[in-house]
Homo-oligomer: A and B are copies of this chain.
C-alpha cells in the first residue's frame, strides 16, 4: 500500500513506534496531552475509541495536511479496566490478578485526515492467558520497572512478560499495543473513501 500523506503518530509509546516502523511506514511523533481516564459507565470498546480519537484530534488541530493516528490500550479482567499501574504496589496487584487466568486486551485506534477532518476508528480485542506466576517472579518483574508504562502492568515482548503468556487468541500486535493488520486494512479503505 502507498500511503499518500504524511503520517503523524499521536503516541509516546515506543512499542507503537517500533510496530509502525516494522510495516515500513514513515511517520512523525507528537505527544498529545490527553489524560488516560476511563469512564466506568462505558464499555472498554467505547473507552479506548474515545481516548484514541481524543489523542488524534488533540494533535490534528495544529496540522494542515496529514493522517494523524491516535491509539489507546487497556487490559480488562473480570470487568476491571486496567490502564498503566499507579505505582509498584498497583503493578504487583494487577499481575497477581492476571496470574493463571485469561484476560482481554482492547486497543482502539483512530485516523484523522487533514484537511478534510474525516475520522475513522476501530477496535481490536485479543484474549491472553497467563500461566501461574510465582510471587517472586512478579516482584522481580515489578522491580525491573518495566510494568510502569504498560496497560495491565506487562509487556508481551519483555524479557519476563514473554514467558508469562501461555497463549493468546486474536491479534498478537494488539497485545503489544497496536493492531497492525486491522490498522493496515482500515487505512487502505479510508484512503480510497476520501480520495
* A residues apposed to B, CB below 8 Å: 19, 22-24, 126, 131, 156-160, 162-173, 180-181, 184-185
Contact = CB atoms under 8 A, between A and B. Distances in A.
Given A159-B22, A162-B23, A171 B180 contact: no
A156 B173 CA distance: 10
Contact of A156 (B126, B167, B172, B184): B172
B131 A185 contact: yes
A144 B64 CA distance: 35
A173 B168 contact: no
Nearest to A128: B172
Contacts of A165: 171-172, 181
24 contacts: A19-B162, A22-B157, A22-B158, A22-B159, A22-B162, A23-B159, A23-B160, A23-B162, A24-B159, A126-B167, A162-B173, A162-B181, A163-B181, A163-B184, A165-B172, A165-B181, A166-B171, A166-B181, A167-B170, A167-B171, A168-B168, A168-B171, A169-B170, A172-B172
A167 to B, nearest CB: 5
A167 B169 contact: yes
A106 to B, nearest CB: 15
Given A168-B168, A172-B156, A172-B172, A163 B131 contact: no
